[in-house]
Structure 1
Amino acid sequence: MYRALYRVWRPQRFDEIVGQQMITQTLKNAIVTHQTSHAYLFTGPRGTGKTSAAKIFAKAINCHHLVDGEPCNQCDTCQAITKGQLNDVIEIDAASNNGVEEIRDIRDKAKYAPTEADYKVYIIDEVHMLSTGAFNALLKTLEEPPANVIFILATTEPHKIPLTIISRTQRFDFRRITAKDSYERMVYILQQKDVSYDEKALRVIAQAAEGGMRDALSILDQVISFGDNEVTLDDALMVTGSVTKKLIADYMEEVTGHVTKPALETMRQILQEGKDANRFIEDLISYTRDVLLYQQAPEMVDSVAMGEDDQRFKEFASSIDAEVLYQMIKTLNDIQQQMRFTTHPDVYLEVLTVKLAQLDGQSQAQAKTAQVAPDDPTVQKLAQQVQQLQSELTTLKQQGGARPAPTKPKAAPRNGPVVKKVNVSQIYPILDSAKKNDLLKIRDVWGDLMNILSVTQRALMHVAQPVAASDDGLVVAFDYAIIYQKATDDQTLIDALSNGLDRLMGQSPKIVCVPKDQWPQIRRDYLATHQPGGAPAKEQPEKAAPVVDQAKNMFGDLVEVKPD
């Protein structure tokens, strides 16, 4: 039965792990000096050697014939671990065993001494998939680890792992494997298999793998099968969906030369050949990045076109403006995001081609440095206005700095958001029966109420707070008028607040929103027109003290009394 290349050529020694020399050397030194930890966390992108390193570590720490920290791979223990037949090395997929019971089972069994090896090693792959309860169960074991037990946690998403777990492990971050390292590993494997290959094809595969050695070997496997045990450039381009360097160069020269029609024809030719649209965008970004790097530091681009001596590339790099390249990368990134979910990538690529052909890096720089002619009518008009203002200022100073007549407050700009006017007829009935105790009860459960809301609703209510409450009503003030407007129009949010209060307090009050900056005036207007008994304040000036008492009863410590 045929076995995939990435399985046949899986590393069996630390030295065979590609592109992670610092990590492998550290692990070997720890084993040789007997300074190993009880828990390790291996993080990094897929296919970079995390699980392979964990298995090699399990072999090395249990091997009695170590050579410079490397397992011998000959003894019974090493061979049993390689075949996955040693009971003391347990590999668990957390994606399918992520419950509390599974981790408790591990915790219970970890207490028993290893039966065949020196150390019992638990390798938990994709550990970020564990549930909260499972993490808590695992945490207890990591806090008080049994003797001769080692945990190795592997994940591609370390940000999902609780900090309490991370702090109890030694963390190793596996980096993406460079295209050069992937290329050299593939050359070694093909030489061992005695398979003929085209170097350019391997470079295309190394770029398409995007830093994953397993992905590179999987693509190589496909190319070998597609090409009948031979690796050719055409087959590699076909399998990966990549575009030839010649077509990329043609396209780049055409769009930067502002010739739209030939660029569209080249783009259509690329699609007609069955090339992947997203891979085409990736290739363009990679090519543009190489050009930028070559312009700034040629020695850093030792793999321009993956090591080819491309005179055409060098001539293009010396002729193109860096500002155009910056704009191209931004445009490419924008289109790439828009293409993620489309079923018509050709439309986006046509739009992209037209955009790129219209870019002019010098236009922005020229706009910044452009100077307006002194005889421009607009300049002359502005100069007259400045002269008139200076004359008026001189006159005012001569008059002793007399204050100008008060001006009317500026109206809100017409192009700003129109904020809905507050409906005080809905607020006043609430204030009629508002009590300080009702407001305090709402404030006590306000935090719990926020937790009930969705993330989007919680974000809106982050700038809001209750300011008045009665048995059947609640006034909520918003820090910003625009958020007040959005909340007022969001009936779903209002319903969620009302239902949440019903769950927490057993009552479902009517909720009215106000902008925070208008709330003090609304409160003053109410107190001025609503005395106990319904009489206006101006008819009973001697009743000022009861008004203050009433305000304190309704609003509590929010009331500030100032003398006239």
Structure 2
Amino acid sequence: MSYQALYRVWRPQKFNDLIGQGIITKTLKNALITNQISHAYLFAGPRGTGKTSAAKIFAKAINCPNQKDGEPCNDCFICKSITDGSLNDVIEIDAASNNGVEEIRNIRDKAKYAPTESKYKVYIIDEVHMLSTGAFNALLKTLEEPPEHVIFILATTEPQKIPATIISRVQRFDFKRIKSDDILSRMEYILNEKHLEYEDKALKLIAKSAEGGMRDALSILDQALSFGMDKVTYENALEVTGSVDKKLINQYLNQVVGNNIKTALISVRELVNNGKDANRFIEDILDYCQNILLYKQVPEMLKSIELDILDDNFEDTAKNIDSDMLYNMIIELNDVQNQMRFSSHPDIYLEVLTVKLSSICQTSHVASNNESNQDLLEKIEHLQQEINDLKSTNNVSKNVPDDKASISSSEIKNTSNAKSAPIKINMSDVYQVLDNATRNDLNNLNNAWDELLQSLDVTQRAVMHVSKPVAASPKGAVIAFEYAFLCQRANSDTNLVDSLENNLDRIVGYVPHMIFVPNDKWPEIRSNYIKQNKSSQSEMVQDAKPKKSSNLADKATKLFGNDVVNIQND
């Protein structure tokens, strides 16, 4: 028998085999157990996260005569036929190559006929977003009133391209990117089952490079095994993924920050000559910069995300680069990456990028020094004025000579940096949102939040990755940031706000006015709002009638939900 790729051999055959999609598999199994089966499903999510596998498992489970606890037996004729693709009642269609009206009309006509060998006829339409407008219209009527024996499972990586009329007629399941440690565990299991040698560091690199896709991870692992003669080493993994060793990235960043342009350009030239992919190099630098940002805020989270494969010099580099410098570097990296897509000479862009990054770092150093000096001069001027005032009111002893009462700027020119300005919160805007906020509006916004963040570019995602909606109304939303400096940056970034509003309009169909607040201030804001409403209804409370005071309780419950509000009658 000819060789089969790992992702085909180790494709999940039961719901319990699907990695990282626990909520979805539990829901589908419960639907099968209780016989609450819908006529149409939409499986949406990034590539390689198990959408098509879940569709085939569902098709097996719903038709398997030996189904147990929502799982197919995988031993009967039906299960084996669906697994090898020979059952006529389970039809897989690639919408990328069958996207016309005629193909869909053909499906619609054949759907009328009863299944020949199984209980249900199942149509699995992959990459359904590729269908033409006419094809979607042809599918619409069948989805609205399908025959009882037919089930449609639509799979897509781009749900935003599917008409709302289609989405409203299906049950939607959003598949998430698979965590790196889950991918790592699966690869370790497969290699142990095959009794093959591997290095832990190599598998961690592959798990990170897969970017949440199990199929991608197994494909890379396949290449690494071929390259290394059935042995997976870190060097082989670097070659196969096109990644750059983190030690080299660390070295490059230190050269750029230290304004060693000549050595940095030599490093880039060596990487290009060694066949490293320029786009991958920029991706690796972006990832490294994002790790530094995360390390400055939540070091323990970074260790979990990076699977402990950071180099020994990472901490020293992180201390030498401040957050503002990193943001400017990320913006420049993102811009060059976009420009490089249309060039056949990426090495030139890398050399230009090196000079620009070095310039950004030097400008940042100068700006930081200027801000610090300006702050010091203001303090010196203030202290000098105080001394003059004291002297003029005879509060300064005559024994204190004039030269001791003055302060020279040169004596303290190297002291601490200026403090950042406090964040301004428009409380009237916040209270206006809270006046009309509902738990349902907040749930809708939370459900769309992950998709919203994925629609942003790398720089914007770096700012918004630790934010979440905490209150929402039909016309507004309060967004809390875990870190105040990111909240401040979001408040001042008009391009970011525009991107958020444009993508929210596309995803949820409306554009709420967003107010950004630091997360540590939110409990106080919420408490003050409730107290303010309570005081305005004091006459009702003093009346000692629960019915009258229920307005405040109802409002708080509507705002924050039963899980947050605890009502007690005094």
3-state SS of paired residue (2:196) = coil
In the other structure, the counterpart of 1:141 is 142
> How far, CA to CA, are the matches of 1:168 and 1:16 in structure 2?
29
CA shift, 1:302, in A, is 2.0
Matches of 1:250 and 1:306, distance apart in 2 = 21
CA RMSD of aligned residues (A): 2.1
Structure 2 match to 1:325: 326
Shift of the 138–202 alpha-carbon distance from structure 1 to 2, 3 Å rule, reads: same
Q: How many angstroms apart in 2 are the aligned matches of 1:16 and 1:214? A: 14
Counterpart for residue 314 of structure 1: 315
* Residues 155-178 of structure 1: CA deviation (Å, up to 9, x unaligned): 112222111111100111112222
Q: Compare CA radii of gyration and give the structure with the larger one.
A: 1
Aligned counterparts, 1:88-487, within 5 A = 88-303=89-304, 305-308=306-309, 310-360=311-361, 361-365=364-368, 371=374
Match of 1:292, SS? helix
Ranges in structure 2 where 5+ consecutive residues have no aligned partner: 382-570
Match for residue 44 of structure 2?
A: 43
Q: Where does residue 495 of structure 1 map in the other structure?
A: none
Asked if 2 retains the 8 angstrom alpha-carbon contact of 1:81 and 1:89, the reply is yes
CA distance in 1, matches of 2:188, 2:354: 37
Q: 1:304 to 1:168 in 2, by over 3 A?
A: closer
Residues 4-37 of structure 1, C-alpha deviations (whole Å, 9 max, x = no match): 1111111111121122112111111111111121
Aligned partner of residue 288 in structure 1, secondary structure: helix
Alignment match, 1:500: none
Distance 1:308 1:209 in 2: 15
Query: Could you tell me which residue of structure 2 aligns to residue 16 of structure 1?
Result: 17
Alignment of 1:519-558 (within 5 A): none
- In 1, Cα distance between equivalents of 2:243 and 2:22: 30
Using the aligned pairs only, state the percent identity: 64
State the SS of the aligned residue for 2:313: helix
How far did residue 82 of structure 1 move?
Answer: 0.5
Contact 2:208 2:306 in 1 (8 A): no
* Structure 1 gaps, min length 5: 376-564
Deviation for aligned residue 1:367: 5.3
Whether the 8 Å CA contact 1:260–1:353 is kept in 2: the answer is: yes
* Residue 309 of structure 1: how far off its partner (Å): 6.4
Q: In the alignment, residue 169 of structure 1 is paired with which amino acid?
A: V
Shift of 1:316: 2.2
Letter in 1 for 2:251: D
Structure 1 residue 81 corresponds to structure 2 residue 82 = yes
Q: Which amino acid aligns with 2:339?
A: Q
CA distance in 2, matches of 1:120, 1:356: 58
- SS class of match (1:341): coil
Distance between the aligned counterparts of 1:200 and 1:369, measured in 2? 43
Q: Does 1:28 align with 2:29?
A: yes
Counterparts of 2:329 and 2:288 in 1: how far apart (Å)?
A: 11
Shift in Å, 1:100? 1.9
Query: C-alpha separation between the residues in 2 aligned to 1:186 and 1:300?
Result: 23
Q: Is the 8 A contact 1:290 1:304 kept in 2?
A: no
| TM-superposed deviation, 1:352 | 1.0
1:48–1:174 Cα contact (<8 Å) kept: yes
C-alpha distance in 2 between matches for 1:55 and 1:373: 71
1:373, distance to aligned residue in structure 2 (A): 13
Q: CA deviation at 1:362?
A: 4.2
Q: Please say if residues 179 and 211 of structure 1, whose CA atoms lie closer than 8 Å, have aligned partners that are also in contact.
A: yes
Q: 1:315 to 1:67 in 2, by over 3 A?
A: farther
Amino acid at match of 1:73: N
* Aligned residues of 2:246 and 2:311 also touching (Cα < 8 A): no
- TM-score, length-scaled by structure 1: 0.64
User: What is the Cα deviation at residue 78 of structure 1?
Assistant: 0.9
Once the 2 structures are TM-superposed, how far is the Cα of residue 366 of structure 1 from its aligned partner?
5.2
1:250 deviates by 0.8
Decide whether the 8 Å contact of 2:204 with 2:309 is kept in 1.
no
CA contact (8 A) 2:220 2:240 kept: yes
**Counterparts of 1:120 and 1:373, CA distance in 2:** 79
Looking at structure 1, the residues matched to 278 and 83 of structure 2 have their Cα atoms a distance apart, in angstroms, of 41
Partners of 2:337 and 2:107 in 1: how far apart?
44
Shift of 1:328: 1.3
On the 8 A contact 1:323/1:362 being kept in 2, the answer is: no
> Which amino acid in the other structure matches residue 298 of structure 1?
P
SS in structure 1 opposite 2:19? Answer: coil
3-state SS in 1 of match to 2:122 = strand
Going from structure 1 to structure 2, the CA distance change for 1:373 and 1:34 (only over 3 Å counts) comes to closer
Give CA deviations for 1:264-296 in whole Å, capped at 9, x if unaligned: 122222222211111100000111111110110
CA-CA distance at 1:225 after TM superposition: 0.8
CA displacement 1:155-205 (0-9 Å, x = unmatched): 112222111111100111112222222222111111111110111111222
Q: Which residue number in structure 2 is paired with residue 430 of structure 1? A: none
CA apart distance, 1:369: 7.0
Q: Give yes or no for contact 2:15–2:57 (8 Å, CA) kept in 1.
A: yes
CA distance in 2, matches of 1:57, 1:21: 15
Does the 8 A contact of 1:198 with 1:231 survive in 2? yes
Contact in 1 for aligned 2:180/2:305 (Cα 8 Å): no
